[in-house]
Amino acid sequence: LMGGWRRGVITLLVGESGAGKSTLLIASAYNAAKNGLKVSYIDAEGNPVEEAFERLPEAARRNMNIEHASRSMEALEDSVRRLRRLPRDVLDGSLVIVDSITFHYHSLIRAAESDDERDRLQSRLETLIYILHSLAAETGSAVVVTTWPTSVYDPERDYVGGFAVKTYSRIQLQIQQFPASGRRIITVVKHQNPRLYGMHVEIAIDEVMRLLDLPPPSRVWEAPMPEEVDDDQHPAHPASP
């Protein structure tokens, strides 16, 4: 859990709004760029990403590729496809973050008026995940995407995005917050090594920011918590390349 994001696979980070997903990923991107790694950050939630990277040295900022995709699901799809077309030497061994992969999908699928429309949305989401999965496998990049639990009361039941996000993510981590202490617990829900299931680490978001010489977040970098949905009613279709 303390060794960094695994390369060559998708890691899914799941947590409620305010749990610290975006803050943790912004800190990870900052640290990676500062240490000379290429970073591609796709923000679908409208978070103040640039604000976090203002303190990076000029050379480190050149390692950052930031895409804003908060306008629509089409914007997110365009950002992921642009990322896939980047030169191989830019992507090899890089860190790729998509926060959140299900942000637009969630609102669209709740507004869908037919099963056919919901099926098309699910298929679009799975295609996005498949593109990121193939990118990770081919370039050895560490790809991290976020989503929410479908239930605040039972966070391990399922995730927004359902089958699509669960199938292609080889590692799944759940982050839970404890408001009284300001600390978070990150738990391994799925891993390529079965012995790691259930392992957890406790972190303090403010301590993470301080260790990386970042100011504490000026506001909560999280989108609103989605209402409960049941993705199991709309299983995904197999994705095409």
> Could you read off the pLDDT of 176-232 as tens digits, one per residue?
887 777 788 888 888 878 777 778 777 776 666 665 565 555 443 444 444 444 444
- Alpha-carbon dihedral sign for residues 29, 188, 215, 44: positive
Is 145 inside a domain boundary? yes
- Strand bridging mode 142-147 / 169-178: unpaired
CA angle 69, 56, 15 (to 5 degrees): 45
> How many domains does the structure of the chain reveal?
1
Which pLDDT does position 233 carry in this prediction? 42
Q: What CA–CA distance (Å, rounded) separates 164 from 98? A: 15
Q: How far apart are CA 100 and CA 205, in angstroms?
A: 19
List b or e across 40-78, with b for residues whose CB sees 16 or more CB atoms inside 10 angstroms.
Answer: bbbbbbebebeebbeebeeebeebbbbbbbeeebebbbe
Question: Where in the sequence is the domain holding 109, given as residue range(s)?
Answer: 10-226
CATH of residue 134's domain is: 3.40.50.300
Indicate whether 234 belongs to any domain. Answer: no
241 has pLDDT over 70 = no
Q: Which two tokens stand for residue 99?
A: 């926060």
In angstroms, rounded to a whole number, what is the distance separating the alpha carbons of residues 193 and 32?
Answer: 24
pLDDT score for 69: 92
Residue 55 lies in a domain: yes
Q: How many CA atoms lie within 13 A of 128 on its CB side?
A: 27
User: For 65-112, how does the pLDDT look when each residue is reduced to its tens digit (9 = 90+)?
Assistant: 999 999 999 999 999 999 999 988 889 989 999 998 998 988 888 888
Residue 19 lies in a domain: yes
Sheet order of strands, 169-178 included: 64-68, 39-43, 95-99, 142-147, 10-14, 169-178, 183-190, 200-204
In a domain, 239, yes or no: no
Residue 231 belongs to a domain: no
The CB density around residue 32, as the number of other CB atoms within 10 Å, is 22
Q: What is the pTM of this model?
A: 0.82
